[in-house]
Chain A
Amino acid sequence: DAGVTQSPTHLIKTRGQQVTLRCSPKSGHDTVSWYQQALGQGPQFIFQYYEEEERQRGNFPDRFSGHQFPNYSSELNVNALLLGDSALYLCASSLVGTGNEKLFFGSGTQLSVL
């Protein structure tokens, strides 16, 4: 049973560029959340997708956008990259309505903006 998979594992971009990160949820899960983790900090919630719609959003600018596909996989897009966007981006999946909603995380995408 595959867990949460993310691609790519590492990425280097320059300021002003755009990036797309991808996530496949754990088998049987229907909800995907994205988090940003700066070095030495806890993850910060970006947004959550369920039934192909954004359900909730954290305190991130509109440069951060996402999408969920019918197979429940998801993409995170970041436009006009800033140096401060350098971080580990984590995807987490869960199954809504279980009353538990334990999150399973992928290994993350390490984004470096130069």
Chain B
Amino acid sequence: KQEVTQIPAALSVPEGENLVLNCSFTDSAIYNLQWFRQDPGKGLTSLLLIQSSQREQTSGRLNASLDKSSGRSTLYIAASQPGDSATYLCAVCYTGRRALTFGSGTRLQVQP
């Protein structure tokens, strides 16, 4: 079964700290992987998309890496801010499928 798991489920850090969110997937035959941000009761905002052939993507203070052989991706957030507080979701598009398979998310709280 193609699954996506995110650890931890929740995380609370003080402002300014660098942090890493983890995502693991069960099948290495992926087309791409996306990280999303979701604010309470809202839709999803795409943060970074990594194609199967890529190892990492960067946008501002965010860096996402992909290791297909180990079935893992990480989202690194540098110098966290209270405005980064949200749920972060990892989603995998497996080869041959048109759907995204999502993890349950990591709920991040950055304390001022």
A residues whose Cβ falls under 8 Å from a Cβ of B: 4, 6, 33, 35, 40-45, 48, 55-56, 58, 88, 90, 92, 100-108, 110
B25 on the A face (CB < 8 A): no
Interface residue tally of chain B, by bracket?
20 to 34
Contact A105–B99 (Cβ < 8 Å): no
A38 to B34, CA, bound (A): 20
Q: Enumerate chain B residues within 8 angstroms of A44, measured Cβ to Cβ.
A: 102
Query: In the complex, what residue of chain A is closest to B45 when comparing beta carbons?
Result: A105
Contact B105–A33 (Cβ < 8 Å): no
Can you report 15 residue pairs joining A to B where beta carbons are below 8 Å apart?
A: A33-B99, A35-B100, A40-B104, A42-B4, A42-B91, A42-B105, A56-B98, A58-B99, A101-B93, A102-B46, A102-B49, A103-B34, A105-B43, A105-B44, A108-B42
CB contact under 8 A between A56 and B99, given known A42-B89, A100-B49, A102-B34:
yes
CB contact under 8 A between A45 and B41, given known A100-B49, A101-B93, A102-B49:
no
A107 to B91, CA, bound (A): 18
List residues of B (27-52) whose CB comes within 8 Å of A's CBs.
32, 34, 36, 41-46, 49, 51
Q: Enumerate chain A residues within 8 angstroms of B34, measured Cβ to Cβ.
A: 102-103
Q: Enumerate chain B residues within 8 angstroms of A35, measured Cβ to Cβ.
A: 100
Other A-B contacts than A33-B98, A43-B100, A105-B45, 20 sampled, CB-CB below 8 A, are: A6-B43, A40-B104, A41-B104, A42-B89, A42-B103, A43-B89, A44-B102, A45-B99, A48-B98, A48-B99, A56-B97, A56-B99, A101-B32, A103-B46, A103-B100, A105-B43, A105-B44, A105-B46, A106-B43, A110-B41
**When A and B form their complex, which 8 residue pairs have the shortest distance between CB atoms, in order from nearest?**
A42-B102, A45-B99, A105-B44, A107-B43, A105-B43, A56-B98, A42-B104, A108-B43
